[in-house]
Every structure is written in C-alpha cells, then in structure tokens.
Structure 1
Amino acid sequence: MLPSLCVRFDFRCCTISIVMVNHGVATELMKGMKDYAQKFFELPLEEKNKIAIPPNDIQGYGHSHSDQILDWSDKLVLIVHPHHYRKLEVWPATPFKEAIEAYSSEVKRVGEELLRFMSLIMGMEKDAFLGLHQELVQPMSVAYYPQCYLPDKVLGLGPHSDKGTIGILMQEDDVTGLQIKHEGKWVPIKPIPDTLVVNVGDMMEIWSNGKYKSIEHRVVTNESKARISCSTFYLPRHDVEIEPLDQMVLESPGSLPMYKKVKYGDYLRQTKHMRFEGKAHVIKVAKLNW
C-alpha cells in the first residue's frame, strides 16, 4: 500500500517537493532518531572523533568533503544499505546504532514504495525503477545545525540538488531550516510534525527527460535554536548508465532527449567539485544542447 502524499509544491510538474503523511514510520522511531542524534552531537569532540571519516572516504563523523568547512553544520554520514557497503567501525555506539538500524530499514521501505509509485505514473511496471538501479544504494546523513548568531551571514548547507534519484528528509517539528528555490526566490519548507519531505534528485530528472526536475535547495541557520535533520538518499549502482526513458522522450517537445547518457559513477566524479554551483552541474555534465 502506497503512503499518502501531500504535494506541498507542484510547479506544473517541473519542480516538486513532496510532504508525505501516513508513511508508516512510527512517531516514536522518528523522535528516537532525533533524540539520540542530539545526544551524539553534544558529546565532546574527542568522543565523536573516534568515528571520524577516514582519509579518502565519505562515511563517519565530520564532513565528507573539505569544501564543506564553510557549512554551519556537524554531520554523521553512513551507507546503511546494502549491508556490504557498511563500515560499522564508524557507526555510533548503542543505542543510537540500533535507532539508525531501525529507522533506515523503515525509510528504505518508504523509498522503495515511492520508486514503485514513480514507475507506475511514468507508464512502467511497478518494479521497473528498482530494476534500473540494479542495486539500490541508501546513504544517510544525520546533520546538526547549531545556533548561529549571524544567521543572515552563514548557511547551514549551501545551494545544491541531490545527485541521486530521490531523497527523503526528516526534520525538526518546530525549527524551519530547509528552503527550495523557485523562480529565483528561496521558499521555506515549514515543518509539519510526523511528516517526511521528499525531494526529486538529478537521476530522476534525467530518467524523466526533465519532466520531474531535481530540487535546488539549501539550509539556513537559526539564531535561537539548534536543528537536527536526517536525510536518506536512494542512488543507482555506480556502473549504471542513466539516460532519458523512451516513453518520457516521446512525451517531450519534438520527441527529443534533453540529456545524454551518463554512467552514474562518472556523474558523481564530474560533479564532485561543482558543489557551489547550485544546479549548474546538471546542465554542464548531462544536458544536451540542440
């Protein structure tokens, strides 16, 4: 049974951010994740550094890329699925570890249901998108945004779009931080308790031939309150080749593909150093110019 979807922003089916209700993830599980994350980030730095991100890796505590030092945030980044990608030596201790395990399993179920839903609305068999991924990879980023006394000067996370297929965000119930870009303006996504926010990623934009465009978004800081968020992403395997689906090309003006074929791992490597360019990396790496 598909979760209920409340479309918060539907800009003519081009740029969408979805607020999901009745998703089936227990309120207690969501609250536990945020509570344990709060306790983890309040630990002394020497304790958190015991699971720091190793050189030339992305998993662990800290920042996955050196250019992120400009972000006003603290992060724990893990690959939670498939299990053979896990590096348990950089997972936090119990009980936070068990909360991550339980929450990520539930959100994986939701993500798979969403991909089945997208398969159906794009005219395919319900498991087609899962098959296109060949192996659904699920990273998780738990972020802590401390209070900032100069919120107009510092961003919690700079403008970007997610480089995977979809992303699912759990945010605080009472602290607004996420903003999406629409017609050149930043629109805040006001939190609704017990909901999850779904953002379209770059791979969905390419597969849909631009019908569903990835969301350019950012996180702003708050002067009076800290904020916890948990983002889960769904990615294809690195060797998967992504290109517009035939049926989506036929629905496009002139029946032309708007994006070239790209191997997902190559796309990640080419866009790695374009982080401060918002969504420009999609155009530079994958867009075709007719």
Structure 2
Amino acid sequence: MGDNSILAPSVQELAKQAISKVPDQYLQPNQDPIFLSDRITLSQLPIINFDKLLSEDEIELENLDKACKEWGFFQLMNHGVNSSLVESVKSGVEEFFNLPMEEKKKFWQTPEEMQGFRQIYVALEEEKLRWGDMFFVKTFPLHRRHPYLIPSIPQPFRDDFENYCLEMKKLCISIMEFMSKALKIKPNVFFDLFEDGSQAMRMGYYPPCPQPEQVIGLNPDSDVTAITILLEVNQVQGLQIKKDGMWIPINPLSNAFLVNVGDALEVLTNGIYKSIEHRVTVNSMKERISLAAFHNP
C-alpha cells in the first residue's frame, strides 16, 4: 500500500462513545440521498428457489437467467446449507465483533497486508472513511491464507467458519453450473473454472450513526469477483442496489442468501449477466452485520 497508508480507527469503538456528531473524516455530504420514497422500496428483488433448480424446473432456470440479466442480484431460498450451521455462524460473527478490543487486535490489519480486522485508509486528502468495521480473510486456495488469522479465531466459531467456507464453495459451484445451463454453454465449463478457484470472506459491522444520511457503510461499487454470496447476519436493511438510475433498498429474507453477479462473471458471459453497482447505508437505531463470500475462478 505504500507509506501513505494508515489504519482507520474502529468505528464500533467510536460509536460506543455515544457521540452526537460524526467526525469530519466520515462525512460524505455529496452522495446520493440515503432515504428513498416508499414507491421505490416496493420493488421486489427476484427470488430463486434452489430446490426447484435441483429438480430441473425449466421455469425456475429461466427465472435465474432473467434475474442475472436484468438485476444482477437475487435472493436464494431453500439453498440446502444446514440451518444449524448458518445460525451458529451468525452467532459467531456477532460474538467476534463483541470481543474486547484487545482480543480483536490479534487480527489487526497492517499497511502491508489487507487481510485482518478494521480497514486500510489511504491518506489522500479527498478520501473519506466508511462507517463500518470489517474482518477480511482469504480462505481458498489454502496457500493464500494468512498463517495466523483463522487459527486465532476462538472456538467453536473457528470450526463453524471453516465448515461454512466449504459450504459456500460448494454452493457457488452449484449456482455456476445452473448459470451455465441457463446460458446454454458447454457443460462443466464453470465447474472446471471454479473447482480450484479462490474464495475470500468479509465480515462487516455497521454501527448506528447519529447522522446516517451524512455517512456511508460501503461506497457505491460493483464486486470485482465473479459471484458473491451474502448472509445478512441480523436481518437489518442497509444494502441498496442501483437499478434504472435509482437506489433500491433490499429487504433480506429470513433463511435466504443474497447472491450477486460480479465484474468477472460479467466478463465471462460477454456482458450477458450484469454486475450491478451497490452500496451499504447505515441507520441511527440498529447495527447491521453481514458475512460475504467472494468467489473467483
């Protein structure tokens, strides 16, 4: 990152101080409005039933194809990942962010290494900090892992996290196989690409903010990876996607994953499937916690 990189402070710790005004380095007053009309919130993100895909339901395969072409996002229900594991992972993520600061410092990022806890802030005058803390770690292939991060995660969350990573990899490959069927391309093309592909996990914590309309949890962007599988840990709204020039809030479904197309998949499909700009907003009442699994060939 170079000598101009510094570590951003923990927003969670800042929020614990019950501040009434956000520090200047977090203020982003020129962004698109956070609060949108009720008319826009009525838009319904596509919902895909994974059971129907497994049953070779042609209509559901068409629904998947349409969702990837028109939205670049969909909610995946009946995904087959053990519900007990998902609930354990949710609890583990929440407990991780509630660890004492001294414990979380074991996972500290450094200017040379993007993996770990907190954010890296490039100290350029025009840069602004985001209202959120993160733990980012590379999980597959194994040789890309940082030697101390995952082994330092407290049990039982460590084992649950490992199992969850494996389940996300399997689910990613299955989703990609159905996408290949929808696109009518050669069988096993995506399987061969993703079987030994890369995976990274990002836990996100976005605390309540006294001036939510003046900050951003994640700046508007699209994912550079092929496919992202997002778990909304505490079911708090915050993710918004840009469609037809408007920001649309996503209401997460219980027991579903949110799946989105990334830049790499848009390239792989020659632009047929769309990588869509999205952002994370925050609110004044409740923290939002998420766990994202990023996959690439």
Q: Which runs of 5+ in 1 are unaligned?
A: 237-290
1:17 to 53, 73, 86: 73
2:90 to 27, 34, 40: 34
2:174 to 94, 100, 113: 113
Identity of aligned residues (%): 36
Q: State the alpha-carbon separation in 2 of the partners of residues 37 and 54 from structure 1.
A: 22
What amino acid is the match of 1:169?
Answer: L
Are 2:246 and 1:185 equivalent residues in the alignment?
Answer: yes
Q: Relative contact order, CA 8 A, sep 6+: which one is greater?
A: 2
1:176 to 214, 232, 237: 237
Q: In the TM superposition, what is the alpha-carbon distance from 1:116 to its structure 2 partner?
A: 1.1
SS of residue paired to 1:206: helix
2:255 to 194, 205, 213: 194
Q: State the alpha-carbon separation in 2 of the partners of residues 214 and 43 from structure 1.
A: 35
Q: State the alpha-carbon separation in 1 of the partners of residues 210 and 154 from structure 2.
A: 32
| Residues 126-275 of structure 1: pairs in structure 2 closer than 5 A | 126-132=187-193, 135-236=196-297
Q: State the alpha-carbon separation in 2 of the partners of residues 49 and 110 from structure 1.
A: 32
1:160/1:217 contact within 8 Å kept: yes
1:180/1:215 contact within 8 Å kept: yes
2:200/2:293 contact within 8 Å kept: yes
Q: State the alpha-carbon separation in 2 of the partners of residues 9 and 19 from structure 1.
A: 13
SS of residue paired to 2:105: helix
Distance 1:76 1:169, change over 3 A: same
SS of residue paired to 1:143: strand
SS of residue paired to 1:78: strand
Distance 1:129 1:30, change over 3 A: same
**Over the residues paired in the alignment, what is the CA RMSD in angstroms?**
2.5
Q: State the alpha-carbon separation in 2 of the partners of residues 42 and 74 from structure 1.
A: 12
Distance 1:170 1:11, change over 3 A: closer
Q: For residues 25-45 of structure 1, what are the alpha-carbon distances to aligned partners after superposition, in whole Å with 9 as ceiling and x for unaligned?
A: 122222221211111112222
Q: Which runs of 5+ in 2 are unaligned?
A: 1-49, 54-59
Are 2:136 and 1:80 equivalent residues in the alignment?
Answer: no
Aligned to 1:89: 148
What amino acid is the match of 1:123?
Answer: K
Q: State the alpha-carbon separation in 2 of the partners of residues 134 and 8 from structure 1.
A: 21
Task: Compute the TM-score of the two structures, normalised by the length of structure 1.
Answer: 0.74
Distance 1:224 1:159, change over 3 A: same
Q: State the alpha-carbon separation in 2 of the partners of residues 8 and 117 from structure 1.
A: 8
User: Which consecutive aligned stretches of 4+ in structure 1 deviate over 3 angstroms post-superposition?
Assistant: 2-12, 64-69, 132-135
1:171/1:228 contact within 8 Å kept: yes
Aligned to 1:239: none
What amino acid is the match of 1:73?
Answer: G
Q: State the alpha-carbon separation in 1 of the partners of residues 188 and 68 from structure 2.
A: 26
Q: In the TM superposition, what is the alpha-carbon distance from 1:55 to its structure 2 partner?
A: 3.1
Q: In the TM superposition, what is the alpha-carbon distance from 1:16 to its structure 2 partner?
A: 2.3
What amino acid is the match of 2:201?
Answer: M
1:71 to 130, 145, 153: 130
How many pairs align? 236
Q: In the TM superposition, what is the alpha-carbon distance from 1:205 to its structure 2 partner?
A: 1.0
